[in-house]
Homo-oligomer: A and B are copies of this chain.
Amino acid sequence: MTTAGEPPTTASTLRAKHLGIDTHQEAVIFMRQDCHVCRSEGFAAHARVRVANGHQWIIATLFQVTSDLLGHSEAGLSDSAFRRLGVRNGDRISVSHPKPVESLSSVRGKVYGTRLEEGPIRQIIEDIVSGRYSDIHLSSFVTACSARSLDYDEMIALTRAMIDVGDQLEWGSAPILDKHCVGGLPGNRTTPIVVAIVAAAGLTIPKTSSRAITSPAGTADAMETLAPVDLDLSQMRKVVEAEGGCVVWGGAVRLSPADDILIRIERALDLDSEGQLVASVLSKKIAAGATHTILDLPVGPTAKVRSEEAAARLEEDLTAVAHAFGLEVTALQTDGTQPVGRGIGPALEARDVMAVLRNDPGAPQDLADRAVTLSGALLELGGSARNGEGPGLARKILQDGRAEAKLEKICEAQGGLRTPPVAKERYPILSGSTGIVGEIDNRRIARIAKLAGAPDAKAAGVERHKWIGEMVEKGEPLFTIHAETPGELAYALDYAAVNDSIFTVGKP
């Protein structure tokens, strides 16, 4: 007497066909509506199905095909499905019903107010990373954690689960330093400067950074205009061994893989529960092997952290949870009301970085000051400076050229120092009136940089000329759009033409 279980795996396989369809993160399989496997399994369009090739399997969303896009024994896979399954055009795949996702009952429990225990949290995160959760399921989990805030035990368990489900790095003896900025601020490219200062002081700071997801540039994009960033783990270790620090793309190591999945959902909902934010930030730092980290919290009405009270609460939670993992944390509240530096976009930001490191007279002072503040905190955390003396030491290392020399050596070690490209097309946007700059819309200025081509077009973006509080004459440039092609310049200009209150200019 067999126990009730999976339907029998009919040995019907199909040949995977490359259709050239990019569905981004979501794995999609296309099957003929009259396909015998659809019938035998009882699939309906938009069902979630298990697609396997030997031991590899993924969960994909099924779309059915009524035309001759597919032959009778063929199934189409989206680009992401091909990648995640590790198959090539023509390989045989089998399709079946997925096992029920048991951990969803824990999500339901959380919806109704039941605390999440460590075991269930672990199972949820594992199921998320293995792709078992559809957008509907992911959204319910994120919403539940926002409606029913996580207590410290839940935050710690979530952080631990997110660490354990990915890779973890180790770096030898402490202190191993790291930094993180909560929420994006256009142009706030402090990392290469901070890494340079801290490594020059003799401390270890192996920094992995991400590429832009929705912003005009990520740290990895900007750094890539100065040196290669696509290093694998052993190459990364060599750089850190030689120079004490690095700034590489984190894609070669899978740190906290649930994080990007959850971030996509949180962005779509504009929901950020404290607990999930804490787990997101700390899981990445701990998995990266950090023992001491600073957290830059820009505070402002259009920043992620809206007020000083919110920042203080976040600091408290981050510190408490970090301690459970033996991670030392210093959080710093910074100004989140306007972009930082002149440039927004990979090459433009890299040029700001080099200008600061070279102590150019025209270097953006706000970027330099922030980098010194953050580096100073790290020097104190790492024991290279006494309490209160960190910023002073950081300023010295910057001003006497040690930081510049260190970054150049890091770039050489990563594969060679490059010169950031310069955009061919430029167009200044002029102020319509005379007055004082009151506000700058971070979101729209980032949008212009993206329409101009950032981050894919590395030289593209925005170069701003005015800071909040500065005087501007009618007809004077507020910012200049940089683009690599006339077409991309046109896209950005079209947008700027109907969005002319990005800079608010008030009566003097």
Contact = CB atoms under 8 A, between A and B. Distances in A.
Interface in A387-402: none
A45 B22 CA distance: 7
A69 B19 contact: yes
B494 A40 contact: yes
A134 B79 CA distance: 22
A30 interface: yes
Contacts of A1: 432, 500-501
Interface stretch (A122-130, A193-201, A443-451): A443-451
A83 interface: no
A309 interface: no
A108 B271 contact: yes
A69 B17 CA distance: 13
A138 interface: yes
Given A498-B2, A500-B1, A136 B20 contact: no
A67 B7 contact: no
Contacts of A25: 46
A205 interface: no
A23 interface: yes
A503 to B, nearest CB: 12
A18 B494 CA distance: 31
Contacts of A28: 63
* Copies of this chain, whole number: 2
Interface string A165-184: 00000000000000000000
Contact of A147 (B18, B111, B500): B111
Given A20-B65, A40-B491, A136-B135, A112 B268 contact: no
A8 interface: yes
Contacts of A268: 134, 136-137
A66 B22 contact: yes
Interface in A431-457: 432, 441, 444, 447, 450-451
Interface in A1-29: 1-8, 10, 18-26, 28
Given A7-B494, A10-B494, A447-B42, A79 B66 contact: yes
Interface in A52-78: 63-69, 78
Contacts of A487: 36, 39
Contacts of A44: 24
Given A2-B498, A143-B139, A495-B7, A63 B21 contact: yes
Contacts of A92: none
A185 interface: no
A20 B69 contact: yes
Nearest to A450: B42
Nearest to A488: B39
Given A45-B24, A487-B39, A140 B143 contact: yes
A307 interface: no
Contact of A22 (B2, B65, B139): B65
A5 B497 CA distance: 10
Contacts of A7: 494-495, 498-499
A500 B8 contact: no
A21 B108 contact: no
Contacts of A36: 487
A369 to B, nearest CB: 30
Contacts of A39: 487-488, 491
B137 A147 contact: no
Nearest to A444: B4
B494 A8 contact: yes
Contacts of A69: 19-21, 69
Contacts of A30: 21
Interface in A480-507: 487-488, 490-491, 494-495, 497-502
A144 interface: yes
A365 interface: no
A390 B25 CA distance: 58
A63 B23 CA distance: 5
A33 interface: yes
17 contacts: A1-B500, A4-B498, A6-B498, A7-B498, A8-B497, A8-B498, A19-B65, A21-B66, A22-B65, A23-B45, A25-B46, A40-B494, A66-B79, A104-B269, A113-B147, A139-B143, A140-B271
Given A6-B498, A10-B494, A23-B45, 16 more contacts: A4-B444, A4-B499, A7-B498, A18-B67, A20-B69, A22-B33, A22-B65, A24-B46, A25-B46, A26-B46, A108-B269, A111-B146, A139-B139, A139-B143, A144-B147, A147-B147
Pairs of residues from A and B, 5 with the lowest C-beta to C-beta distance, nearest first: A20-B67, A24-B46, A139-B139, A147-B147, A24-B45
